Structure 1
Amino acid sequence: MRFSALIPVACAMVAFVLSMLALFAGNKPGFMEDYNIMTLNTSTLGHVLVPTPTSSSSSSASSTSSSLGSFISSLAQNITNSIEGELASIEGDIADKLAQTLGISQWYSLHFMDMCQGSYAPNATAKHVHKNTTECSNQTAMYHFNLTQTLNDQLHRGGLNLNLSDINWPSEIQDSIDAANTAMDATFILFMIGIGAAGVSILAGLVAFLVSGSRLLAFGNWGLTTISFTALLITAIILTVVQGKFVHAINKNGNDIGIYAYRGTKYLIITWIAPALMFLASLVWVFEFCIGRKQQKREYTEKASYTKRSKWSRSRI
């Protein structure tokens, strides 16, 4: 038994667990919700529907100034400023309750195989806000995130009976989501390969631990860990690129109508740790292979030397 063989087994186990968590995060409300690929804040979506008092009040003040003189204009301006302050406060309350009025959730989070949604607590504008998850979709392999359809369905059921065209929904948002879905399909296949190879390498590593010095087992384990490392590394790269482009596209096209996207930093961390651990496991198996080769050479040399001495002894007799 070679205890150093347990090092790559331990690395593969941790990588396997992290990858499984990344795969099944969000499979039910509240389960690893912070470990999402990205979050969409829709608490102010549709704020363009809320009337602002600035334009109407300024035109009123202008007409007052022209008709009643500077004194009355000044008095009217003071009254207008007071009214604007009250309206701004009311507008803030409206914006905070806007999602509820429209019938949509305040946030939507994309996981690898599903989507979750919910509200912010204590409210969307609080400093120390946390998420209340109300619903998660059914987990599906190669899940396709269709935000446009989800929001349209909820808006139709809402109190105002609106659709996305009423809030000037940009088509570029769903276009970027569709591109992300295509990339995620390829990522799912790579993820499965990486997880599967890591799982097999755990079993093969335990066999290598029991059968000490087997170069064949060391080479086989190196192959498995290398396959897992490569697949998980490409997965992490694709997820990082998709996440960055998707968040940029959402914020570029959606901020004006009140939708904001945020990266899932914690999710990226565990998806990068997994290939790093498999790379370490692969290096250890290379070391095990080299050590096994040296042992075989030493055993061969000792055996040859012993045979030579035995022949010399017999020849002298």
Structure 2
Amino acid sequence: MRIHTLDLHFLGIPGLIASYLVESGGEYALIETGPGSTLETLRSAIRAAGVDESVIKKVFVTHIHLDHAGAAGWFAQIGATIYCHPNAARHLIDPTKLIGSARMVYGDQMDALWGKMLPAPAGLVIALQDEERVKLGEVEIIAWNTPGHARHHHAFIIGDVCFPGDVAGARLENSRYLSVTAAPPQFDPVAYVHSVDRLTAAGFQSLYLTHFGRVDDVEWHLSAYRKRITEIHARVAADFRSGVSAEENRTRYATDEHEAAMRAGVDEALWQKCERANLTSMCADGVRLFCEKEQ
């Protein structure tokens, strides 16, 4: 088996969003497609790896947020089967609601950021149950239900490696700063910790993060990430109980995360890149929304 890391150069910046081309026994699969806005970059990266995109017959998306699955419909329209969580399938077949919700958030920036999300033919979208397996050449790709970032989230397992989507967070340039992916509306710290514990217990040798790249210090990463999930929840929950406004919550969250990144040895340039990969304002809103639901 070979795994090719494909950098989608989101916003023209290297190292923000990855897609993974997996090759085994003469078959090819794609894990994550990135957004529609980087489709041409993805296609070029696939060809640079010596593969024509038409031979990719299996595409796996961890969840249907636009930075992970925005280009999935294009691959389905050229004949690839899309594998996803059961709660994600309908949004891949008809992305109207998903696109509408995103447009409300991003407004005039929507098209530039995310591009088009094409509908996938229903017959080419297959929902995988927890621990269901799909054969690819000489290996099997196993779906694990891993809620916390989103309820419709899978991690994909091949042997001793894991493609965790957003359930293992964002970590750029192999720094020691782990940014909790907590965008609304489905952040759930209890489910999140359970999912991270499940990954930890498996003893994987490597994680292939969508944001961004291969991680080999898996035990440290997952242990530290578990702490970060509980830390941001406790922090926002305390502020919420004390009456901090949503706007002030965003400001405090950004300040606290900036300080955490500096303590982890991140310089200002890398911090700005981390912000591009995982906006603190959106994460602040995601954690606060969970706190509101807790009341």
Structure 1-normalised TM-score? 0.24
In proportion to residue count, which structure has more strand? 2
User: Rg bigger for which structure?
Assistant: 1
Bigger relative CO (Cα 8 Å, ≥ 6 apart): 1
In proportion to residue count, which structure has more helix? 1
